[in-house]
Structure 1
Amino acid sequence: MLDHLQHVAIEGPIGAGKSTLARLLAQRLQAQVLLERPHDNPFLVRFYADPARYAMQTQLFFLFQRIEQYRELAQPGMFTPRTVSDFMFAKDALFAQLTLSDDEFRLYGQIHREMAPKAPAPDLVIWLQAGPQTLLGRIARRGLAMEQGIDAAYLQRLSEAYGAWFERESSVPVLAVDTERFNPVERPGDVDLLLQRLAAFKGPREVFDLGA
């Protein structure tokens, strides 16, 4: 019943649980998993310490990294078997608009238009949501030193940026998941419920909330 979903992208703010869910879904769907590689970015630690100074370098590194990943997926037949990713290509521009100055964003946009591949859109985006305090708690528990300076205001802006992007890009099918109650690690049955919801998805915008 999920054969039409050849590429499922999982998105959401830092701490939402994207990579964890991508691995779990890929395992259940017998799919290949495509994950971000933030630790390959040599500017990321410096960005968290001094965002204004290192935002441009950080964004360009991520842009080129994602270009390489998506060029591989854009090859004929590369979406067979099914792919589950913990990002969509469009997130790079979303973060760039949030972190860059106006002049930097205009320059970034020129580079993006010249370099970005014609990346195939995901068949479905699973948008993981949680409040800033919940996200901060998860970030603290995973204990990555470079992330400990992230504050609630930044996470709120990031969540709002995702909301604005999905509102603009109405052609992208989106299943929004409230992760305040969704815990696929401690409750594997939550993955079963999500798979059932995916099978019943009609689109283009739906919500999956275990507390509803």
Structure 2
Amino acid sequence: MQLMERFPYIVVEGPIGSGKTTLARKLADRYNAQLLVEQAEANPFLTRFYQEPGRYALQTQLFFLFQRANQLRELAQRDLFGAATVADFFLEKDPLFARITLDNQEFQLYRQIFQHLQVQAPAPDLVIYLQTPLDALQERVQQRNISYEQNISRDYLHKLSDVYSEFFHQYDAAPLLIVNNDKLNIATEEASLTLLIERIMQMRGRREFFNPNLQ
């Protein structure tokens, strides 16, 4: 049995710089699966958000919320979840960003809109959480050399990393593999991707951990 036969809908998650999009693309390419990725470059507020977070946080967050909800709704309507799908986001994580970027009144408004959307997306068959140390996140963001990301502060990355850890510490809606992503070079080493796939296929429980540093 191949990976996508066992897990037809896989979500890869992690903070910015964790390599989630790279891994999602590589899995989709290897198994000829439908790829669903965030489209950050389409958000007209994102550059301004990293320059003035307090001023543009709500606009940035709501744009992403509607974008992601529309992507999932379109897939559900076209019944493409019948085919193998790999995504680098799921809607459940959207409030994580909102919680650390919005003030209390803005967050309450965001929550009302989030709940009103009621997007009916199927639960993933597998979630891969790329748990990445703060230093590695910061280094990878710098290496990507995307202009607007160079304004991301270490403090913001630290808060983001913390809320991800807290979220996945409690997450139990789908099988979850937590990956120590410090030394896993998916982007440049095909052997790392193969090693990860082998570990996924060994999963037997709903919540497991993979530390390739100990292999």
TM-score, normalised by the number of residues in structure 2: 0.94
Q: Which protein has the bigger helix share?
A: 2
Residues 102-138 of structure 1, C-alpha deviations (whole Å, 9 max, x = no match) = 1111111111111131221211111112111111111
Question: In 2, distance between residues paired with 1:28 and 1:150?
Answer: 32
Question: In 2, distance between residues paired with 1:133 and 1:168?
Answer: 24
Counterpart of 1:119 in 2: which secondary structure? coil
**Is 1:5 aligned to 2:7, yes or no?**
yes
Structure 2 regions of 5+ residues with no counterpart? Answer: none
Q: Which residue of 2 aligns with 1:21?
A: 23
CA-atom RMSD in angstroms: 1.3
Letter in 1 for 2:125: D
Give 1:111-130 correspondences, 5 Å limit: 111-130=113-132
- Identity value in percent: 46
Q: Does the 8 Å CA contact 2:123/2:173 hold for their aligned counterparts?
A: no
Measure how far apart 1:76 and its partner are. Answer: 6.3
Residues 52-71 of structure 1, C-alpha deviations (whole Å, 9 max, x = no match) = 11110001000110111000
Letter in 2 for 1:103: Q
Q: Does the 8 Å CA contact 2:50/2:152 hold for their aligned counterparts?
A: yes
Q: Which residue of 2 aligns with 1:171?
A: 173
Measure how far apart 1:151 and its partner are. Answer: 2.1
Q: Which residue of 2 aligns with 1:95?
A: 97
Q: Which residue of 1 aligns with 2:183?
A: 181
Counterpart of 1:19 in 2: which secondary structure? helix
**Is 1:86 aligned to 2:88, yes or no?**
yes
Measure how far apart 1:177 and its partner are. Answer: 1.3
Structure 1 regions of 5+ residues with no counterpart? Answer: none
**135-144 vs 159-168, which deviates more?**
159-168
Residues 66-116 of structure 1, C-alpha deviations (whole Å, 9 max, x = no match) = 111000222363113200011111121111112111111111111111113
Q: Which residue of 1 aligns with 2:145?
A: 143
Counterpart of 1:106 in 2: which secondary structure? helix
TM-score, normalised by the number of residues in structure 1: 0.95
Q: Does the 8 Å CA contact 1:166/1:172 hold for their aligned counterparts?
A: no
Question: In 1, distance between residues paired with 2:34 and 2:120?
Answer: 21
Q: Which residue of 2 aligns with 1:133?
A: 135
Counterpart of 2:121 in 1: which secondary structure? coil
